[in-house]
Amino acid sequence: MYAAATAGFDAAAALLITQAKAYLANPSAGTLAQMQVQVVVLQQQVNTAMLRAARIVNPASQQHALAAIQAVGTVVTVMLSLVQSVSSKAAVAQMAAASTVKMSDVLPWVDQRQAAEIVAVHYGESVVMAQVQVAQLERVEIGAGF
């Protein structure tokens, strides 16, 4: 069950990565608009999945599901931040308005240590530094309305 769900997330993330590479190769408003929509859709899917996993009654199954979903969610949050950094304030406001399941709704279910470890491995830095960055990123996203 978890493998099927995360496979769907992986496919959506792969599409977003392809769009990001296309944007970097040839920055255009159209490609940016596609990335803005796609990253919000993926973020919403991950947030919804986190809330569903939180309702699993078997603690071991719940932790397994949350860990699998969070691995994808951490990457999506970083991608969301990157897309925001090249978007106008109006576009970010529009993206946030499209986010109905807010980060603050899922934050109680996020394993901060796991998120920091994912970031630390990806960027080749210490977990302590990554924890600071993850916490800061979460505050920024919540402040932006995500």
Q: Where are the domains of the chain?
A: 2-144
Unique residue bearing structure tokens 């596609």: 34
Q: What confidence tens digit (pLDDT) does each residue in 46-103 have?
A: 999 999 999 999 999 999 999 989 988 898 998 899 899 999 999 999 999 999 999 9
pLDDT band at 104 (very low <50, low <70, confident <90, very high): very high
5 close to 53: Cβ distance less than 8 angstroms: no
Cβ neighbours of residue 121 closer than 8 Å, sequence gap 6 or more: none
Distances (CA, A) of 87 to 55, 63, 66, 102: 35, 35, 30, 19
- What pTM, to 2 d.p., does this model score? 0.85
> Nearest to residue 70, comparing CAs of 91, 87, 47, 93?
47
The span from the CA of 9 to the CA of 43, in Å, is 10
